Amino acid sequence: MAPSTAPRRLAAGVAAVSGAALVLSALTGCAPGSDADVVIRIAMGSSGDAVDSKFDDLKDQYEDLYPDREVEIIVQEDDVYQTTGLATLLSSREAPDAYFEWSGPRMRNHVADGDGADVSEYLAGEAFAGRFDDGAFTGMDVDGSGIYMVPWTGDVTDVVWYNKEIFDSLGLSVPTTWDEFMDVCAAIKASGVTPIVEGNKDQWTVGNWAAHIASRVLGEDLYAQTMNGEAAMNSPEMLDAMSYIAEIAEKGYINDSVNALPDDEANTQFFLGKAAMIVIGSWLMADAATDAEGLDFDYFNTPALEGAGDQTSVLGISTGFMVNAKSEHIAETMDFLALVASTEGTKLWADAGLAPMTVDPFAGVDADPRTVSLATLMSTASTVVAPSDSGYDIEVAAAFYDAVASIIGGGNVQDALDTAEKRVAEIR
């Protein structure tokens, strides 16, 4: 999952999701009693202050261009948005006109539910002319019937971020193989520092990494078959793959609180130097822009393993904004999304540490070299693998993530995978 980061502010006019504290912001959305002819609502999970605040700029630009319109931007804590938050918004009386989503199964599910509009005609229009290469729309169609998403960013979903000061103080080099990685972890642990911190409370952080490892060991074809429920979850190949995750737990190379800690708190611990490494996606750069001042850190891809897959593969997914097919203001909403994809909008996202999917993502921007490097990593990778919960069957992914959480928490690999296979067999 490509998800992005921590809770930020409280949005006006948005009901709290039952059982979950939403930290939201209307980003100065329309006031009660507004006399605007058109109000459009845009929903998303928080990507951090550096990104969220840029929508203020787009809101102002849009309302200057169209004085008879107003924009309400709904920002939810990201994990809430991905689970119950967006679904609740879409079923509400004031459903969003557009909403952030990943390409792949989640997008297709929205289309099947009648919540996704075909925006092909608008994307072919003058407002979007020259903004995207054809490859930007990969995974954003449904059986060739049309395009259902306006591309926004490309996310590398997992890399190993490391504290360069800790590495340098211990004389450590970036590992290129798993054995070297384990040696690095051993040296860090011996120094009294936690080697890896992860916030797996919602299961997707370690789940993403485990999916990448599975693709490397099983090979991309068997990985895809497994995550679609077509091959056994407890196969010998998967047992081998998850043994890598078990090794981290068994040797104490990860925080004891891994399955209780939220992902944003894990990010904070890494930024504070309480752990030498964290495995998470490219969106960490957006948080780092405001929360990691003075920290010298970089990343490396998951080291090479023993397996049938491409050992240089990248785990990644594209993101974008869908338009609600039930919206009464589709044309007006597309006008706003055209600003998101414009040259000026692209600069906003690149400045905030994201990798926009437009044709000139870093033109005229003094982008962080790590952000540019991540975009290059994804665009030049020989193999890009989709996370299990974004590219494949979501129910199968849930069973897999439960197994991974058990294993990283110290559970038996065979037992965890057998349990997952029973669930998948019912789905199958």
pLDDT in tens, 332-375: 999 999 999 999 999 999 988 889 999 989 988 998 999 999 99
What is the percent of the chain with per-residue pLDDT over 70, rounded to a whole number? Answer: 92
More confident residue, 143 or 119: 119
Q: What is the pLDDT of residue 11?
A: 31
Contact indicator for 205, 279 with CB cutoff of 8 Å: yes
* pLDDT over 70 at 3, yes or no: no
* pLDDT over 80 at 5, yes or no: no
* pLDDT over 70 at 81, yes or no: yes
Q: What is the pLDDT of residue 168?
A: 98
Q: What is the pLDDT of residue 34?
A: 60
Q: What is the pLDDT of residue 302?
A: 98
Question: In the chain, which residues fall in CATH 3.40.190.10?
Answer: 38-155+317-379, 159-315+384-427
Which amino acid would we find at residue 59?
A: K
Instruction: Locate the DSSP E strands across 293-398.
Output: 297-300, 314-323, 384-385
Q: What is the pLDDT of residue 391?
A: 74
Region of 48 on the Ramachandran plot (φ > 0 left; ψ -120 to 50 alpha; else beta): left
pLDDT in tens, 249-305: 999 999 999 999 999 999 999 999 999 999 999 999 988 988 998 999 999 999 999
Q: What is the pLDDT of residue 30?
A: 41
Which amino acid would we find at residue 330?
A: I
Q: What is the pLDDT of residue 78?
A: 81
Structure tokens at 401: 């993530």
pLDDT in tens, 290-331: 899 899 999 999 999 999 999 999 999 899 999 999 999 999
Q: What is the pLDDT of residue 427?
A: 84
Q: What is the pLDDT of residue 390?
A: 80
pTM (predicted TM-score): 0.78
Q: How far apart, in Å, are the Cα atoms of 4 and each of 48, 97, 127, 177?
A: 8, 21, 28, 28
What is the percent of the chain with per-residue pLDDT over 90, rounded to a whole number? Answer: 77
The domain over range 38-155+317-379 is classified in CATH as 3.20.20.20: no
Q: How far apart, in Å, are the Cα atoms of 182 and each of 237, 290, 302, 359, 388?
A: 21, 31, 12, 39, 25
Identify the CA nearest to 188 among candidates 265, 274, 103, 261: 274
Residue range 159-315+384-427 forms a domain whose CATH class is alpha beta
Structure tokens at 265: 């708190």
In the predicted model, what is the mean pLDDT of the chain? 90
Q: What is the pLDDT of residue 379?
A: 85
Q: What is the pLDDT of residue 82?
A: 82
* pLDDT over 50 at 20, yes or no: no
